[in-house]
Structure 1
């Protein structure tokens, strides 16, 4: 019996494969080569704008995801990532997925807003599903 259980576990784990980031784009319609990291300036702009809706805006710590390299002709981009911020009691709540919008003006990121933020397990699933429907993944790839 013990050998059968070990064989089943080995078979299941044998099917697991670690893929590289370039093998699986996580923004619908874009390949990994068409995506880029946010610049420090863009992160600063978005952190300021995204934090406005939080109870303690100064406590926000973001885990950023990539954006398309080329967004010509677009004025708004859907965006999903994760953040950790303090709650009403002053404690960090842990990484929570969020869905938001990035505003583009003159070909540059000019602002943004959070349109949905998870605060419990049920909401995490809902926000992750909202992101998936837009072809986005809130989890940064390393």
Structure 2
């Protein structure tokens, strides 16, 4: 069983209509990581114990963009604890993260679901460090 929270993930790309290139982008600032971590924290158990791996964020992001990374956390669903891939719709303003909502999060044998969503946008959650 998978957690799908937002069905509109497929509609978000960079403002010019393209997908961010794999491996490109910038590091997130601590306050930006907190916004994304808070969004992920709403869909996992014990968010305070979660260990995040952060991917690069599109350098010229504007408006709503997709972001893919991973978190080692407890899932509210049995059998899904451990490393989980997620895709979030991230709202930006002046190139900075201002809001985030998790579109999908999956671990274990269902991680391919998020990996495939991320690939559609040229993103790879396995690039997260």
Structure 1-normalised TM-score?
0.66
The alpha carbon displacement at 1:28 in A equals 4.2
List aligned pairs for 1:19-34, cutoff 5 A: 28-30=19-21
Structure showing the higher strand proportion among its residues: 2
1:49 corresponds, among 39, 58, 62, to 39
Q: Which residue of 1 aligns with 2:72?
A: 84
The structure-2 alpha-carbon separation of the partners of 1:93 and 1:43, relative to structure 1 and needing over 3 Å to count, comes to: same
Partner of 2:122: 135
Partner of 1:60: 50
TM-score between the two structures when normalised by the length of structure 2: 0.71
User: How many pairs does the alignment contain?
Assistant: 111
Higher relative contact order (CA 8 A, sep 6+): 2
Change (3 A) 1:31 1:82: closer
Runs of 4+ in 1 over 4 A off after TM superposition: none
Deviates more, 1:75-84 or 1:97-106: 97-106
Give ranges in structure 1 of 5+ residues lacking alignment. Answer: 1-26
Which structure would you say has the larger Rg?
A: 1
CA contact (8 A) 2:70 2:128 kept: no
Q: Does 1:98 align with 2:86?
A: yes
Unmatched segments (≥5 aa) in structure 2:
1-17
